[in-house]
Amino acid sequence: MELDAYYKMVDNCISKLGVDPNVCRGEKPGQWDLKKGSASVWIDVFKNENSFSGYFQCMAPVVQVPSSMTKEFYEEVLEKNHTLYAVAMTKFKDWVYMKTIRELDGIDEAEMTALMNRVGNYADDLDDYFKNKYFGGSGSPKQV
């Protein structure tokens, strides 16, 4: 599968958001890094070596897992996750991310743009919410 056409689609989507895609490109082909408010939004177009399929992934770090009140935190993440459309919060190591991933086959610019907007908007809203609730807004754990 050739990925260049999909790279161009992402560039077009980023341009439609009013951002220069050349400024957002990552270190490797198929990577972009954008900002939506306080959230970083990472976009990847890639193909696994062992697969004929390519993938579009858009994700954003939301919040570091707190060292205290973890039961309450995870329950709230799951409850909020239930209300999201076409994206989900995931945990990797000690961070929660907003993420969507799908096969490239059949994707178009409208869907890419919608997924990028969803990840960015949800992450921008929830990063501040969780930081304020569990870290007192400072980024360091809330004292209880």
Residues in Cβ contact with 44 at an 8 Å cutoff, skipping those fewer than 6 apart: 30, 31, 55, 56, 57, 58
If we measure between CA atoms, which residue out of 1, 102, 99 comes closest to residue 53? 1
Task: Give the domain extent around 119.
Answer: 4-135
CA dihedral defined by 12, 13, 16, 21, rounded to 10 degrees? Answer: -70
Q: Is residue 140 part of a domain?
A: no
Would you say residue 144 has pLDDT above 90? Answer: no
Instruction: Give the CATH number for residue 58.
Output: 3.30.1460.10
Give the chain's domain count.
1
What would the mean pLDDT of 7-36 be, rounded to a whole number? 96
Q: Is residue 83 part of a domain?
A: yes
Would you say residue 143 has pLDDT above 90? Answer: no
pLDDT tens-digit profile of 55-103? Answer: 999 999 999 999 999 999 999 999 999 999 999 999 999 999 999 999 9
Confidence band, pLDDT 50/70/90 cuts, at residue 138? low
What would the mean pLDDT of 126-135 be, rounded to a whole number? 95
